[in-house]
């Protein structure tokens, strides 16, 4: 079993500020988050501890990519995003981070980390179908977001989550026992799951699989 604590700090998208508000989801609080994937592959499981459980029979780029998301009702400037999780026995592929911007209603341009480790300005990420492939987060800030017409660094975050399935092999499981969102401003509690939004999540998963296929090519 592998226990990890990691955080995301995304340059202008997530400028670290001292006076930040934190919102942590753990225990029963994980049950109110949004889950995406095939039926039964992403779900809240009560126990000791309660966890957001992600499991897939196929960790390859062609497999299911279950995810758990925090929906942010008022888009915020993200200062940090952290989670604590345990990988199932035999699972060697860590969860990785996905961020959707407020001007990305179709979940088509997710910001995806290249692995489950910490992210900072020099770290490599993917955004939707950027032809550059991997790009540093600092460099991304100056690139124009095709939805808003503004630089990515001027965008705010509407969804933040973790997903598994990153080009490995075999089956995999990740049990997430806490997720913490930090922002310079107060963070509103997530609303009740919106069925229409959930219907769009598979499009995001498809986009992410496309990114991974491009990276593997």
What is the structure's pLDDT at 14?
Answer: 39
The dihedral built from the CA positions of residue 12, 176, 86 and 217, taken in this order, carries a sign that is: negative
User: Do the Cβ atoms of 216 and 168 come closer than 8 Å?
Assistant: no
User: Do the Cβ atoms of 68 and 33 come closer than 8 Å?
Assistant: yes
CATH topology for the 2-216 domain: Jelly Rolls (2.60.120)
What is the structure's pLDDT at 116?
Answer: 63
Q: How far apart are CA 15 and CA 78, in angstroms?
A: 7
What is the structure's pLDDT at 2?
Answer: 47
What is the structure's pLDDT at 91?
Answer: 80
| pTM for the structure as a whole | 0.75
Going by C-alpha positions, the residue among 54, 83, 69, 61 that lies closest to residue 164 is 54
- Residue range 174-207, pLDDT digits in tens: 999 999 888 877 776 655 334 444 444 554 555 5
Which DSSP state fits 144? Answer: B
What is the structure's pLDDT at 107?
Answer: 81
Q: What beta strand segments (E) does the chain contain?
A: 2-8, 21-26, 34-36, 42-45, 51-56, 67-76, 80-87, 96-101, 111-113, 124-127, 135-136, 157-163, 172-183
What is the structure's pLDDT at 46?
Answer: 95
Q: What are the helix (H) ranges across 52-163?
A: 137-142
What is the structure's pLDDT at 156?
Answer: 86
Q: Please give the distance of CA 6 from its chain centroid, rounded to a whole number.
A: 12
Low-confidence stretches of the chain (pLDDT < 70) are: 1-20, 114-119, 129-132, 166-168, 188-217
Q: How far apart are CA 37 and CA 75, in angstroms?
A: 24
- Domain map (residue ranges) of the chain: 2-216
Q: How far apart are CA 98 and CA 105, in angstroms?
A: 15
DSSP β-ladder status, 80-87 and 2-8: antiparallel
Q: How far apart are CA 72 and CA 136, in angstroms?
A: 25
What is the structure's pLDDT at 117?
Answer: 64
């Amino acid at each position: 079993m592998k226990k990890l604590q990691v955080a995301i700090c995304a340059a202008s998208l997530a400028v670290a500020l001292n006076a930040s508000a934190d919102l942590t989801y753990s225990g029963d609080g994980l049950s109110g988050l949004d889950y995406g994937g095939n039926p039964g592959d992403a779900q809240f499981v009560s126990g000791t501890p309660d966890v957001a459980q992600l499991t897939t029979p196929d960790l390859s780029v062609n497999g299911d990519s279950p995810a758990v998301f925090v929906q942010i009702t008022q888009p915020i400037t993200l200062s940090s995003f952290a989670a604590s999780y345990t990988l199932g026995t035999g699972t060697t592929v860590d969860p990785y981070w996905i961020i959707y911007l407020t001007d990305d209603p179709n979940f088509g341009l997710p910001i995806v980390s290249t692995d489950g480790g910490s992210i900072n300005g020099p770290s490599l990420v993917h955004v939707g179908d950027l032809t550059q492939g991997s790009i540093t987060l600092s460099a991304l800030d100056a690139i124009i977001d095709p939805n808003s017409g503004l630089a990515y660094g001027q965008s705010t975050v509407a969804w933040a989550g973790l997903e598994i399935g990153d080009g490995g092999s075999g089956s995999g499981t990740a049990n997430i026992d806490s997720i913490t969102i930090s922002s310079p401003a107060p963070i509103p509690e997530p609303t009740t799951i919106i069925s229409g939004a959930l219907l769009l999540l598979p499009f995001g998963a498809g986009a992410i699989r496309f990114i991974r296929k491009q990276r593997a090519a």
